[in-house]
Amino acid sequence: MSYLKTGNKRRIDRLLIVSNRLPIGLFKDEIGNWQVKASTGGLITALTPILGNMNGLWIGWSGTLEEVDPHEVRTLGGKETGLELKAINLTEDEITQYYYGFSNKIIWPLFHDLQTHCDFDPDYWHAYQTVNRKFAEVVAENIRANDYTWIHDYHLMLIARELHALGINDKLGFFLHVPFPPLDIFLKLPWRIQILEALLHYDLLGFQTARDRNNFIHCVEAFNIDLHHDARRQVSTLTLPDRKIQAGIFPISIDFNDFAQQARSKEVNKEVQKIHKALPNRQIILGVDRLDYSKGIPQKMLAIKNLLDRFPDLRGKVTLIQVVVPSREDIPQYQQQKSEVEGLVSEINGEFTRTGWIPVHYVFRSLTRTELLAYYRAADMSLVTSLKDGMNLVSKEYCAARIDNTGVLILSEFAGSASHLRRNALLINPYDMEGVANAIHQAYNMSKNERQSRMRKLRERIRTHDIFWWADAFLSSATADMTNESPMV
């Protein structure tokens, strides 16, 4: 049964979505009045029709450090998005310590197996608890009987615990968009027991991959929490001494049809022609990554250098277009990452450039949707070198945009998407620069028939498991016990 295709026929009157940010951007016009612009993204695309069908409510931070009248956000945001929105105001200190501190200097690097980047400042933990409590209080003020509350991502792991402390015992779901680390990494977290116990307050926990779900279960078992479960099922029931919860595998995806349709547009075709004209008679390797140390961009550059060293016949015949989207530039590690990448690009181009050919074209900015789709369409290969990724939607977007059924996906085995695209992508270990170079060489020499066979299968896999399938799968599992139905996974 689908929430999106048949409407809500379960015992839920209304859906509450809770995330760090609302699905809008706020800005002031020339005379100082607040203006609202709807944000974009897969999560918003998937949840907007559900909220519309169920008269739902989206709760999140306003996105600005200025005090905003929640009623004004509700009115303006509703006109722009058609959604009911509830804004939470956070202070500059709360954003510094809860968001930039605990969320992005502790949880983000730790959950990506990069604990050396962590700053375990106790003040961050105190702020994280305070802000999660603030979110919970707003949820408690707005929740009604037969509501279902779906909380998203690592910023808000404590909300269920805080709601239970407030006497709210309604059904609560949580989806973790990032990886969950293995036990030996999770042990580094000073507040590991508090986090685990807080997560066990949810009725349904959603993870991207079996690896992430099983890592969570192993951590729970390690702390002598009496637990019985069946890890063979996609949605496992975890039996605790005092309650039962579910932990499921729900790989997030994209709006496949929307990407494929836009990739056919005249505007995109025009941009593709420009790219081929600027870079004639060569195969294009494409990297599209947010500026983040988890994306393995320096490793990608070292692999390109290794490729050109070991396969001189490819000089002048391949070009890497590396797009880096700015992110969190005020965090020192991100500034260091940018400097390292730019240094490697300069080194490679300085060593290998010759008349009429530059091996690496470096783009440091955000792209429009038309530009992004044009790069996807023009690129003969997509090179994803994530050191750890919850999913990596670039790998799925690239395939969806390949309306000609060509192109080769070279994908890190540490990206969540590798768990269900592995059969038809070329899997790589991003730390193995020779192995990555070999995969590029293999893709360069791959026959057209093999390219098309692989890409057709990749596209069909993504088409049938799109963002709407993901939302339906989670909500069907969340409410199956209300109607004695089997979860849809």
Q: Are 400 and 260 in contact (CB under 8 A)?
A: yes
pLDDT of residue 275: 97
Does residue 177 have an active-site annotation? yes
Q: Could you read off the pLDDT of 106-126 as tens digits, one per residue?
A: 999 999 999 999 999 999 999
Same domain, 125 and 69: yes
- Backbone torsions φ then ψ of 377, nearest 5 degrees: -65, -35
**CATH number of the domain bearing residue 181:** 3.40.50.2000
Sites in the chain below the pLDDT cut of 70: 1-11, 40-42, 231, 481-489
Tell me if 489 is assigned to some domain.
no
- For 449, residues 6+ apart whose C-beta sits below 8 A from its C-beta are none
Q: Which of 153, 255, 292, 389 is catalytic?
A: 389
Q: What is the predicted pLDDT for the residue at 331? A: 76
Shared domain check, 225 and 356: no
**By residue range, what is the domain housing residue 25?**
14-252+468-483
Lookup: tokens for 46: 């998937």
CB 253 within 8 A of CB 466: yes
Q: Per residue in 199-222, pLDDT tens? A: 999 999 999 999 999 999 999 999
Judgement on whether residues 475 and 425 belong to the same structural domain of the protein? no
Do residues 212 and 268 both lie within one domain?
A: no
Rounded Cα–Cα distance for residues 389 and 178 (Å)? 7
Tell me how many domains the chain contains.
2
Same domain, residue pair 200 and 312? no
Give the separation between CA 83 and CA 17, rounded to whole angstroms.
11
Same domain, yes or no, for 455 and 479?
no
Can you give the pLDDT at residue 486? Answer: 45
Geometric angle at alpha carbon 366, from 363 and 370, rounded to 5°: 95
Whether residue 71 lies in the annotated active site = no
pLDDT at 233: 80
From the list 117, 164, 177, 361, the catalytic residue is 177
* The pLDDT of residue 487: 47
Per-residue tokens: 367: 């792209």
370 and 446 housed in the same domain = yes
Measured CA angle at 406 (ends 404, 407), to 5 deg? 135
* 172 shares its domain with 38: yes
pTM of the model: 0.93
Please tell me whether residues 261 and 245 are part of one structural domain: no
